[in-house]
Amino acid sequence: MQVNNCVAVLTGAGSGIGRCLALALAKQHCHLALADLNAEALAETAAQARAFGIKASEHPLDVADRAAVAALPAAVMAEHGKVDLLINNAGVALGGTFAQTSEENFDWLMRINFDGVVSMCRAFLPLLSERPVARIVNVSSLFGLITPAQNTAYCASKFAVRGFSNSLRLELEGSNVGMTVVHPGGVATAIATSARGPAEATEAQRQEKLAQAKKLLRMPPPKAADIILRGIERDKPRVIVGNDALILSWLERLLPVNYWRLLPGIATRNN
């Protein structure tokens, strides 16, 4: 897929991988329909992208709001007249054991991380199908490949994205719409600092978990964005971002039940 002069819809565009993906696409002269819950951060991304001479529209959006998602294609078409690429990047994190995770928080995460992806695909697939070449890119996680403790909700959502994407890929075979699922490893974004945790956790416990997470989140977001963009341009069905994700994905394949025994101290850390 050549992104030059394409129109890409990108969620979670206000920061992290989303912002860096927006700028990487803009450098390739891809026009952007940017969506994020944070309107101020969204405006900053759009302004930076426009510096590359492309059109970037701003769409404040909660991907968990099905009505708002259903209305988005019309707004994007009014601004751009077409959609060639859909990147579902928006996501949140939630730490704690299953026993510590409230039903409210579990559902909150699933509505954003999984239901939001499904709703966006449902909304934009008809428009993508009208294009000669189009692609859906769904961002899962390393934790859509492996299952550390204290991440039941997050793993459930990211495995769901992976399964949904892989099945949809088979349904789209032979059509003009391709599918890529992305599994980032430890990328240095704000997902750890913005994650929800157990209500009963002390401040000291929260800071300890945050320090552990930051040790694992090392790849600069621009590098992750470049890897993802190369995967899109090469029509790759799966993109694994980072050597940590690559090594752990192979380890899980070799020892699907017992791989954690080789990774002391990591099993209880948050992604």
Domain that holds residue 131: 7-262
Residue 189's pLDDT band, with cuts at 50, 70 and 90, is low
User: Is the pLDDT confidence value at 205 over 70?
Assistant: no
Active site residue 259: no
User: Is the pLDDT confidence value at 63 over 70?
Assistant: yes
pTM for the predicted model, two decimal places:
0.87
Average confidence (pLDDT) over 176-184: 97
User: Tens of pLDDT along 108-138?
Assistant: 999 999 999 999 999 999 999 999 999 999 9
Residues 25 and 8 sit within 8 Å (Cβ to Cβ): yes
Alpha carbons within 13 A on the beta-carbon side of 163: 8
Residue 95's pLDDT band, with cuts at 50, 70 and 90, is confident
Question: How many domains, in total, are found in the chain?
Answer: 1
How much helix, strand and coil, in percent to the nearest 5, is found in the chain? 50, 15, 35
User: Tens of pLDDT along 3-17?
Assistant: 999 999 999 999 999
The active-site residue, picked from 114, 143, 154, 159, is 154
Average confidence (pLDDT) over 80-101: 94
User: Is the pLDDT confidence value at 207 over 70?
Assistant: no
pLDDT of residue 204: 55
User: Is the pLDDT confidence value at 256 over 90?
Assistant: no
In a domain, residue 269? The reply is no
In a domain, residue 146? The reply is yes
In a domain, residue 2? The reply is no
SS3 state at 29: coil
d(CA 184, CA 171): 24
SS3 state at 208: helix
User: Is the pLDDT confidence value at 97 over 80?
Assistant: yes
Strands (E), the chain: 7-11, 31-36, 56-60, 85-88, 134-139, 177-184, 238-241
User: Tens of pLDDT along 38-52?
Assistant: 999 999 999 999 999
* CATH code of the domain containing 137: 3.40.50.720
Alpha carbons within 13 A on the beta-carbon side of 83: 28
User: Is the pLDDT confidence value at 221 over 70?
Assistant: yes
In a domain, residue 270? The reply is no
Which DSSP state fits 174? T
pLDDT of residue 269: 39
pLDDT of residue 68: 98
pLDDT of residue 209: 55
CA nearest to 7, candidates 106, 80, 111:
80
